[in-house]
Structure 1
Amino acid sequence: METTSSKNKNIVFVTGAFVTHHGWSEWQAYFESKGYNTVAPAWPHKDGTAEELRNRQPNDTDLAKLTLDELVDHYAAIVASFPEKPIVIGHSLGGLITQLIVNRDLAAAGVAIHSVPPQGVFPYEFSFLKAGWKALGLFTDLDKTYLMSFEDWQYAFVNEMPLDEQKAAYEANTIPESKRVARGGLTSAAHVDLDKPHVPLLLTSGERDNIIPAHLNHRNFEAYAKNGSVLDYKEFKGRNHYVLGQSTWKEDADYILDWLDKNA
C-alpha cells in the first residue's frame, strides 16, 4: 500500500447534512495558520448563504433530486483533482463520505468527525432515530426538500447549549436537505469495505451527541478489520453534534493536528 507523506499539507473539508459549508470557516483559518492549504467545497446546489438556501425551501428541485451516490462522486472528483492525494476531514455525513473516499484509495489520510455509520453498522440508538428520521421524508414528496425545525435542531445538534447560542447557530448554519441523500445512507451507496487495508483513519465522537451517539461511532470504529492499517478512535467529553462550532472546537482541532503530524 502507498504510504502517506509527512509533507502532505492539502486538506479537503467535507460538510455534513442539514448545514452550510461555511461552518468550516474557522477550522480553515486555523489549519491554514498551521501551514495547511484547505478547501471546504459546498455540496451541489448548496453554494449560498444559509438564508439564501432557506428561502428556496421546499421547492429547490435540483437539491431535492441530489442522491448520495452523486454527492460522494462530487467530493471524490474534488479530492482526485489534487496532484497529490490530500487529507480528507469530514463531519457527520461528511464523515461517512470521508470513510468512502478513504475506501476508494483517494486520500492520504482521513478524519471522520462524529461520522454517520456506513451500511452494515446499524444505528439502533433511539436518539439517532429521534433526531434523524424526519430527514428520510417518509410518505412525503421526494421532490421537495426537508428543512430541520429549530426544535429538532435543538435536539439533534445543539443540545445543552444556551438558548441564544442555539438560535444563533441555527440562523447561521441550518439549510434545506435532500431526502434522497438521507435515504442513501441506508443503501449500498453507503457501503464501505471494512476489511480492506487503508490509509491512516481517525474517528472521533462526542459524549453528548444525540444524532450520532458516541457508542454508535465506537461501533463504526470496531467494525473495521484490524489488518495493520492505522485506525484510531477518540471520544471528546462534553461535545454535541455542533462540535465544529462549540467553544471547545480548537481543542478538537489541536488533537487532529497532532494526529496528522504523527500519521499523515
Structure 2
Amino acid sequence: MINSSTIVFITGAYVSHACWDQWQTYFQHKGYNTMAPPWPGKDADTKTLRERYPDKQLAAVSMDDIINQYISIINKLPEKPVVIGHSFGGLFAQVLLNRGYAAAGVAIHAVMPQGIIPYEYNFLKSNLPLLASLNSTYLMPFSRWQFAFTNGMPLEVQQQTYEQLVIPESRKAALGGLTKAAYVDFKKPHPPLLMMAGTEDQCIPAHLCKRVYNSYKDRNSITDFVVKDRNHFVLGQPEWEQDAEEVAGWLRRN
C-alpha cells in the first residue's frame, strides 16, 4: 500500500523544471504536497539559463550530483515521497526507489538504467549528440526538439514550447547513465512502480521502455506498464491530464 501524501517530480534532461507546473497544480488539487526541484546548476528560468550558455558550472554537474541532491531533499521530508520522473527523471525515480528513498515510483518515458544497452535507432539519433565534448554543455537545437520531443505536433506549438522550456544540459550528467550512478538491482524487492511509454516517442522508444520493464524480476513487487499514443513531450501534450489521472488512479489503487 502506498502511504504518502508527498510527491517529488523529477525533471529530465534538456528542459526546465517548469514542465511540471500543470502536473503540480493537478496533484495539489488531489490533496498531495508537491515539489519539482531543479537539477543543480539549473535553478533559474529558461531565459537566464540560456544566457549563461556555455556554463562551466553546469558542465561540471554529474549524475551523482543530481541524485545526491534529490536524496538530500527527500531526507528532509516528513515521509518517504512518491517520486514521479520523466525521461532522465524517470531513471532517477527508479534509482531512488531501488535505494529505498521512495514510497512508490512512476517512470514516464524513462531513460534506461545501467546495463540496458539502447540499440533503438531513434534513441541513438535523439541522444548521441549530447555525448560529444563531455566537459561542455549542450543546448538542443530546434530541429532536434522537433524530432526527439515534439514530433507530430503543430509547428507553432513546437516553437512555443522550445522557447519556453529548452535549456542547456550537462553532458557529464548524461554520460552518468552508463555508470554505477544509474544502477538498479532488478532482482531486489521494491515499492510499487508504474512505467509509462509512448508509441510515438522517438527519444525514448516504447520498445526500450518495455525492455526495462521486463528486466524487473521480483514477482512479489508491483511493477506495472502502460503504453499510449504519445511522443516524448508527454507532460505537455493536450492529453496530459488524462495521463495525470492515470497516475492518480494507480496511486489510489495501490
TM-score band (shorter)? over 0.9
Aligned positions of 1:1-264 closer than 5 A: 4-5=2-3, 8-58=4-54, 60-137=55-132, 140=133, 142-237=134-229, 239-263=230-254
Contact 2:2/2:251 (CA < 8 Å) preserved in 1?
Answer: no
Q: Unaligned stretches of 5+ in structure 1?
A: none
1:261 deviates by 0.5
Contact 1:195/1:227 (CA < 8 Å) preserved in 2?
Answer: no
Instruction: Return the alpha-carbon distance in structure 1 between the equivalents of residues 137 and 252 of structure 2.
Output: 40
Aligned length: 254
SS at match of 1:244: helix
Task: Write the letter of the residue equivalent to 1:75.
Answer: Y
| 1:54-108 Cα distance to aligned partner (Å, 9 max, x none) | 11111x1111000001111111211222121111100000000000000111101
SS at match of 1:111: strand
Task: Write the letter of the residue equivalent to 1:40.
Answer: A
Task: Write the letter of the residue equivalent to 1:10.
Answer: T
Instruction: Return the alpha-carbon distance in structure 2 between the equivalents of residues 4 and 168 of structure 1.
Output: 37
Contact 1:9/1:37 (CA < 8 Å) preserved in 2?
Answer: yes
1:227 deviates by 2.7
Instruction: Return the alpha-carbon distance in structure 1 between the equivalents of residues 122 and 73 of structure 2.
Output: 33
Q: Which runs of 4+ in 1 moved over 6 A?
A: none
The sequence identity of aligned pairs, in percent, is: 50
Instruction: Return the alpha-carbon distance in structure 2 between the equivalents of residues 61 and 203 of structure 1.
Output: 34
1:136 deviates by 0.8
The TM-score with structure 1 as length reference comes to: 0.94
1:144 deviates by 2.3
Instruction: Return the alpha-carbon distance in structure 2 between the equivalents of residues 79 and 96 of structure 1.
Output: 16
Instruction: Return the alpha-carbon distance in structure 2 between the equivalents of residues 185 and 118 of structure 1.
Output: 7
Q: Unaligned stretches of 5+ in structure 2?
A: none
Alpha-carbon RMSD: 0.9
SS at match of 1:31: helix
The TM-score with structure 2 as length reference comes to: 0.98
| 1:170-209 Cα distance to aligned partner (Å, 9 max, x none) | 0000000001011111112111001000000000001100
